[in-house]
Amino acid sequence: MTSNNSTEFAHSLPNFIWYYLRTKKRYLLGFVLVALIWAIDMSLTPYLLKVIVDNVVQYSHNQAQLLHSIILPAVFYAAMSLIVNLNFRFYDYVNLQLYPYLRATIEKDLLQYLLHHSYTFFHNNFSGALTKKITDLMENIEPLVTIPNEWFYPRVFAALIASGTLFVVVHPIFGIILFVWAIIFVLLSYFAAKKAENYSRSFSENISKLSGSVSDSVSNVMSVKLFNNVQHEISTIDGILDKVVASDRKLSWFNLKINLLQGIGASILIGAMLLMLIMGLQKGWVSAGDFALVLMLSVSFTWGVHDMGKQMQRYSKVVGTCNQALSIIRQPHEIEDLPDATALNIHQGEIRFQEVSFHYENRVNLFKNMSVTIKPGEKVGLVGYSGGGKSTFIKLILRLLDIQQGYIFIDNQDIKKVSQGSLRAQIATIPQEPELFHRTIMDNIRFARVDASNEEIIEAAIKAHCHDFIMDLPQKYESMVGERGVKLSGGQKQRIAIARAFLKNAPILLLDEATSSLDSKTEDEIHQALHEVMSKKTVLVIAHRLSTLKEMDRILVFVNGRIVEDGSLNQLLGDKMGHFYKLWQMQVNGFIAEI
């Protein structure tokens, strides 16, 4: 699913539904058939009852003739009961064939589209709220389709058939009354549904914010506890809850008024029909069977209005929820491959920034006309003050962010002209805070190369010095690490991340060193692992440890988005007035300061 076609088919909810139903037209025909049979039954059953009543009145003194005249309508009446039952079972069959497919396909497509959003998109949105949008759409797709199929379309068909039946069988006036009433009712329901969408959208937005806030509190539960801010979090959520309650009441109040109007309309229908029936009885153009037929149809539609009112209230919330959920794919991807993007082919591993300018949204330029070249196989340390641009420099190479001007080349290939997948496939990254899935250790290491064998994973773990601690765990490589790896220590998570880099074995390595201090044994193991994983690669390291800087061929010093110093460790230390020398002088326990 690309950004262009997704924003087109998700422009409206009907377009979105049709996108998935268009390949399942036989099921749509099934829905039409079910609705038509149900609508026919709504008129045919009362008509058969009318025939029976008329014959009972006409032949009440002739038992033989009475039995002969009502047996066929009675058989048809019983047969319709069987047909209706089979019709509903057929409807159940269509549902069980269609909805599991819809839910699974929609969830997969939305997740795929969501994961192609940019790094910035996820920083600007609650992960809990995004997850809820997907689950909301998946859960509400069934009522979104079934409510019209069960409550609206059958009654529209029924109104048309019933109007025609009354027009032909009883008297045209009854058919006209029911037809006009049905037209007004349908128009009222349509405009009410459009109006209710605004209320339901507001309600769904507030529910989404609530879900995001709750998820945020739960994700940061340690901070909540350590700062004793449980009540503060509850107070924050209380404010959102007030908005949820207010928007829910607005929606419910609107639906109440619509239900009232529909109820009044139903009463008007009953009143008009009764008035005409009484007149018809007095003038002799309405039989007892006609009376029963008209009254049964009128009462049936009246009760249908009551039920539709309840379903409409539910449907308006479903529509609002789905529209809110669709906001995920109504937003185009910020960073997309060109239609003719090629695969990146790395021969040496040279990285070159040429006149690069970049700024974050609504901010001044961080980088302006920056040019720098990282030679093939060169190990480059990035140091500098916090906010100087080191992390952004790394993200631009990965194309997690897009530059506004200039070019970034890898082996003379513009990274904007290669696919993002091929770019990142040939760059290994070790983040400062490794992100682990709530899966086994084996699965977490394999994430770097999903086709890797168990033997290759174990070999990578041995090189990363994490095999020993893994083997000490009860389930060894099948041990679950917990959400975000909470069951592992900081040093263990770092070594898992290094094992991933070994397994991927990409020609370029980007490393953001952890700033936390570890015990000497763990520090030594990590240092050895990093020394080996950096071998024969182009390496960029956001460095904090002196031991790491000593292994660098070159060091770039970042200050306010500019590279103010560039040279080897000894060269930079030779400049006693330089920024790097000042940072070096502020070292603490083997760590370079970052202020």
* Tens-place pLDDT, residues 127-143: 777 887 888 888 888 88
Answer yes or no: CATH 3.40.640.10 is held by domain 3-330: no
Does the pTM exceed 0.75?
A: no
Q: Which residues have a Cβ under 8 Å from the Cβ of 556 and sit 6 or more positions away? A: 372, 380, 381, 382, 383, 563, 565, 566
Residue 84 and residue 92: Cα distance in Å, rounded? 12
Yes or no: say if 549 and 569 are a contact pair by the CB < 8 Å rule: yes
> Cα–Cα distance between 399 and 393 in angstroms, integer?
10
User: CA-based angle 488:494:498, to the nearest 5?
Assistant: 130
CB 156 within 8 A of CB 186: yes
One digit per residue, the tens of pLDDT, for the chain of length 595 reads 555 555 555 667 888 888 888 888 888 888 888 888 888 888 788 888 878 887 787 776 777 777 777 788 888 888 888 998 998 899 889 988 888 888 888 888 888 888 888 888 887 777 777 887 888 888 888 888 888 888 778 888 888 888 888 888 888 999 899 888 888 887 887 788 778 777 877 887 787 778 778 877 877 777 777 667 788 778 888 888 888 888 888 888 888 888 888 788 888 888 998 999 899 888 888 888 888 888 888 888 777 776 776 777 788 778 878 887 887 767 788 888 899 999 999 999 999 999 999 998 878 889 999 999 999 999 999 998 888 899 999 999 999 999 999 999 999 999 999 999 899 989 998 888 888 888 899 999 998 888 989 999 999 899 888 898 899 988 998 988 887 777 888 888 888 888 998 899 899 999 887 655 556 677 777 788 888 888 889 999 998 777 788 889 999 999 999 999 999 999 999 988 888 888 888 775 566 655 4
The pLDDT score that the predictor gives to residue 156 is 80
How far is it, in rounded angstroms, from Cα 252 to Cα 314? 10
**What's the distance, Cα to Cα, between the start and end of the chain in Å?**
44
Say what the pLDDT of residue 10 is. 62
Residue 342 DSSP symbol = B
pLDDT given at position 11: 67
pLDDT of residue 595: 46
Our CA angle for 549, 553, 559, nearest 5°, is: 60
Pairing of strands 367-374, 351-358: antiparallel
Topology at the third CATH level for domain 431-505:
Rossmann fold (3.40.50)
Please report, for the chain, the start and end positions of each structural domain, with discontinuous segments joined by +.
3-330, 345-426+509-517+537-595, 431-505
pLDDT of amino acid 345: 92
Is the domain defined by 345-426+509-517+537-595 classed in CATH 3.40.50.300?
yes
Contact status, residue 383 vs residue 515, Cβ threshold 8 Å: no
Same fold, 3-330 and 345-426+509-517+537-595: no
Task: Please give the pLDDT value at position 507.
Answer: 92
Would you list the DSSP string of 470-537? HHTSTTGGG-B--GGGTTS-HHHHHHHHHHHHHHH--SEEEEE---S---HHHHHHHHHHHHHHTTTS
Q: What pLDDT does 50 receive?
A: 78
Tens of pLDDT, residue by residue over 257-307, are 888 887 888 888 889 989 998 998 888 888 888 888 888 888 887 777 767
Name the strand (E) or helix (H) holding 427: strand 427-430
